[in-house]
Amino acid sequence: MMGRRWLRIILGLVAANVVGVAFCFAFVFLFQFPDQVGLSSRAQQWFYGFAVMAIWPSLVLLPMAMGIAAAYFWRSLSFSLWEYFLWWVITSLVAPIGAYFFFKEGAVCLLIGFPILFVCGFAGVLIGRLLFKSKTAAMNLSVIPVLLIATLTEGKIRQDEQRVVEDRLLINAPATAVWDYVVSFPAIGVAPNYWLNKVGLPSPLATTCQGAFVGAARECIFTHGLVFKERVSELTPMRLLTFQIVEQPHDPELLGHLTLHRGQFQLIDNNDGTTTLIGRSWYTLHMRPLWYFDWWTRDVTSHVHLRVMEHIKTLAEGER
Amino acid sequence: MFKFVVKKLRWLARIPVLPQVFDAGLMIATMLFDRPRLRAMEMFENAIRRNYPIQKRPHRFGGVGFFIGTTEIGHLHGNGLLDLFVGKSFRAEEIRRGRALPHHVFPDSGWISFWLKSPADIAQALELFEIASTYRTTGQPISLAH
């Protein structure tokens, strides 16, 4: 009796993760399929169109399907709500830990993704515990394919688009004093105070630049040895510096998740000895659901901006 | 926060599965920070299951819906808020006596709200449920001796 109970618990745990992994592998297969069978270019175009539509595994609906799958196997165990919760904690940890060890996924990305995976998955468990308590349990299983279809279509209604994050900081120094540190700045000595940096997210360290001219190579150096290679594309001394990101570091936190296009610093002379420094970054986010990951991206980017801008402020104000 | 979401962001409830996700968040918060309330919710659900020929289903606004056939008696949110349909006349009386609150979204309807905070609230919640279930199944309000 006890053995059967444990078997059902483990079956639920495995089923949930199999649903998750199977769905992700299905996407990989979708992208490799046209090359393997040698489809014509038009057919390939259609196929990739479908794959792009389906590729973004929704972190809302997929965990719900996982939760429902787990609840199906746990339906006869008379779990209390607390037991459902505890077993879902364990079940939902399997996928991120597996992704970290076997797929070399970035720890910070997993940390960011885990809350939504956990909450949406638990919503699935709660729905599943009600669906499968009734006599129509088998029929109610049909909710899983419905959720998967909904997951596929979520990608279709949300296309990639370029977004921008903007931050402003008042510096008690004239634009002439600020400008030199905008082009490049020496290493930041102060430890970051953003909690994600403390758990492993790289933070900006220093910037080097060939010179204050259009076409100059620029490097933005982050901790953990990450370097963004940039090229100055627009420059108006004391007023504006725009740079294109020509090469992103091959970091698991970024690869396939986020593309950074360009950055910009704008200086506004307030004519009272102070300068308003504006930092902007343009990016495209490839993660879904967009509303969730965009919130994180804006928060992280804003902290990067402000860390650099605060450093520039300290240097420029120290000159006075 | 719950009040803000149901008052200002009610339109979000039209998005499929979002209410269920929100309710799961409420339930997780209850589990982590308010165990007496969780115990009360669980005891209430079990008492309902034992005493009534009721079906529990996911509710469209999140939480557990209690149904007899297709008729909804009420629903319990993940934060212990119990909403019951008792009809307008009974609603007015119970609110006047302070035994229930006006419904948290539709205060002038025949719905009432009741907070399950600890196992001590179960007896009163079950009384209200009895009234709601009788009203919904017979169409007649009942009066209980208090």
Does residue B3 lie in a domain region? Answer: no
pLDDT at A207: 92
Question: What's the one-letter identity of residue A287?
Answer: M
Cα radius of gyration (chain B): 15
Does residue B82 lie in a domain region? Answer: yes
- Cross-chain Cβ contact A119/B16 below 8 Å: no
Render pLDDT for A172-200 as a digit per residue (tens, 0 to 9).
999 999 998 998 888 998 888 888 887 77
**Alpha helices of chain A — where are they, by DSSP H?**
2-37, 41-55, 61-73, 81-102, 107-131, 137-140, 143-157, 175-183, 195-198, 290-318
Averaged pLDDT, A130-142: 60
Question: End of a domain among A129, A157, A185?
Answer: A157
Question: End of a domain among A122, A139, A157?
Answer: A157
pLDDT at A60: 76
A287 and A192 within one domain? yes
Rounded to an integer, what distance in angstroms lies between the CA atom of residue A262 and that of residue A244?
A: 4
Residue B98 belongs to a domain with what CATH number? 3.90.1150.30
Query: Does the CB of A22 have a partner CB in chain B at under 8 Å?
Result: no
Pick the residue of A60, A87, A130, A143 with the most B CBs within 10 A to test the interface with B by mutation: A130
Provide the 10 A C-beta neighbour count for residue A221: 17
Q: What is the DSSP string of A125-174?
A: HHHHHHHTTSTTHHHHTTHHHHHHHHHHHHHHH----EEEEEEEEEESS-
- Cross-chain Cβ contact B27/A81 below 8 Å: yes
Domains contained in chain A, number: 2
Is the pLDDT reported for residue B81 higher than 60? yes
How far is the alpha carbon of A119 from chain B, nearest alpha carbon, in Å? 6
Is the pLDDT reported for residue A104 higher than 60? yes
pLDDT at A171: 93
Is the pLDDT reported for residue B49 higher than 90? no
| Selected residues 16-45 of chain B with any CB under 8 Å from a CB in chain A | 16-17, 20-21, 23-25, 27-28, 31, 38, 41-42
- Cross-chain Cβ contact B58/A119 below 8 Å: no
Least confidently predicted of A13-27, A38-52, A274-288, A299-313:
A38-52
The SS3 of residue A212 is: coil
Letter string b/e over residues A287-298, b meaning 16 or more CB atoms within 10 A of that residue's CB: bbbbebbbebbb
Given a contact cutoff of 8 angstroms between Cβ atoms, the answer to whether B33 and B117 are in contact is no
Is the complex ipTM higher than 0.85?
no
Averaged pLDDT, A226-241: 93
Domain residues for the domain of B127 are 35-138
Query: Does the CB of B13 have a partner CB in chain A at under 8 Å?
Result: no
Query: Does the CB of A85 have a partner CB in chain B at under 8 Å?
Result: yes
The SS3 of residue A77 is: coil
Residue A281 belongs to a domain with what CATH number? 3.30.530.20
Render pLDDT for A48-91 as a digit per residue (tens, 0 to 9).
666 655 554 466 778 888 999 999 999 888 888 889 999 999 99
Render pLDDT for B121-144 as a digit per residue (tens, 0 to 9).
999 999 999 999 988 877 665 554
pLDDT at B98: 84
Does residue B1 lie in a domain region? Answer: no
A24 and A104 within one domain? yes
Supply the mean pLDDT for chain A. Answer: 83
Cα diameter, chain B = 43
A77 and A51 within one domain? yes
On chain A, the residues whose CB falls within 8 A of the CB of B58 are 126-127, 130-131
Does residue B11 lie in a domain region? Answer: no
Q: Is the dihedral of CA A76, A82, A84, A86 positive or negative?
A: negative
How far is the alpha carbon of B110 from chain A, nearest alpha carbon, in Å? 26
Question: End of a domain among A157, A192, A220?
Answer: A157
Provide the 10 A C-beta neighbour count for residue B125: 24
Does residue B57 lie in a domain region? Answer: yes
A183 and A133 within one domain? no
- Cross-chain Cβ contact A123/B23 below 8 Å: yes
How far is the alpha carbon of B4 from chain A, nearest alpha carbon, in Å? 19
- Identity of the residue in A81, A120, A133 whose CB atom sits nearest the CB atom of B21: A120
Residue A267 DSSP one-character state: E
A244 and A199 within one domain? yes
Averaged pLDDT, A128-153: 62
A137 and A62 within one domain? yes
How much of chain B exceeds pLDDT 90, in percent? Answer: 35
Rounded to an integer, what distance in angstroms lies between the CA atom of residue A129 and that of residue A76?
A: 10
Domain residues for the domain of A180 are 162-318
pLDDT at B146: 40
| Selected residues 62-101 of chain B with any CB under 8 Å from a CB in chain A | 64, 78
A203 and A153 within one domain? no
Domains contained in chain B, number: 1
- Identity of the residue in A122, A130, A133 whose CB atom sits nearest the CB atom of B24: A122
A312 and A291 within one domain? yes
Averaged pLDDT, B76-88: 91
Provide the 10 A C-beta neighbour count for residue A77: 18
Among chain B residues, the shortest Cα distance to A123 is held by B24
On chain A, the residues whose CB falls within 8 A of the CB of B64 are 130
A125 and A95 within one domain? yes
pLDDT at A265: 95
pLDDT at B5: 73
pLDDT at A164: 92
Given a contact cutoff of 8 angstroms between Cβ atoms, the answer to whether B24 and A122 are in contact is yes
Query: What are the structure tokens assigned to B85, written together?
Result: 């349909």
pLDDT at A22: 84
Is the pLDDT reported for residue A232 higher than 90? yes
CA dist A293 to A63, A204, A241, A305, B7, Å?
16, 21, 28, 18, 25
A174 and A56 within one domain? no
Residue B56 Ramachandran class (φ > 0 left, ψ -120 to 50 alpha, else beta): beta
Among chain A residues, the shortest Cα distance to B31 is held by A82
pLDDT at A172: 93
- Cross-chain Cβ contact A130/B23 below 8 Å: no
Torsion of CA B139, B58, B28, A114, to 10 degrees: -160
Higher pLDDT, A57 or B39: B39
A197 and A111 within one domain? no
Is the pLDDT reported for residue A138 higher than 70? no
H-run or E-run covering A230: strand A227-236
A248 and A188 within one domain? yes
